[in-house]
Amino acid sequence: MSDDGPAIFAFTDGACSGNPGPGGWGVVLQAREGDEVVRVRELSGGEPQTTNNRMELMAAISALETLTRPTRLSVVTDSVYVRDGVTKWIHGWRRNGWKTAAGKPVKNEDLWKRLDAAAAPHTVAWEWIKGHAGHVENERADELAREAMAPFKKKKSARPEDVGSLGR
């Protein structure tokens, strides 16, 4: 990594049980000096009824909103939706009054506007990585997202017919 590269990395992920359903998001923020990680901060949150795309967006938003001053950073996501939305589609949406090229309302417009505002003071490099491929920070962000989702998942009780001949 060169000295002029980002010193902050935000690894983000979202999760949803059902789509829509209970969801969570997770962020691993790292401050680096050269290749050495000098500080780590983890963030997470969840909602009882949401979608995976909304949780992916919330992870990126939360990473950016937690920064207290303009920063040069890399946001690393396994979401093609977030990466393409913020690097390709958002410019046209803004220009078209938050309508798609087909003239339809942009899905998750509220969060896209929030992401746009959160990114504005920063110099952000948006990076995509393959999810669930053993990338340590991405796996940790996924774990945080799933932990944040857990309180919203309804526990199912066993029905007598599901137990069957257990214990016989």
Binding-site residues for Mg(2+), please? 13, 56, 78, 142
Q: Which of 24, 47, 78, 85 is catalytic?
A: 78
Report CA torsion sign: 109, 125, 117, 136.
Answer: positive
Q: Which of 13, 46, 47, 122 is catalytic?
A: 13
Task: Indicate the Cα dihedral angle 24, 139, 74, 95, nearest 10°.
Answer: -40
Alpha-carbon gap, residue 121 to 139, rounded angstroms = 28
78 is catalytic: yes
13 is catalytic: yes
**Nearest Cα to Cα of residue 37 among 12, 11, 62:** 11
135 is catalytic: no
**Nearest Cα to Cα of residue 64 among 6, 137, 135:** 6
142 is catalytic: yes
161 is catalytic: no
Give the pair of three-digit tokens for residue 28. Answer: 């691993």
Give the pair of three-digit tokens for residue 106. Answer: 């942009």
Catalytic residues: 13-14, 56, 78, 132, 142
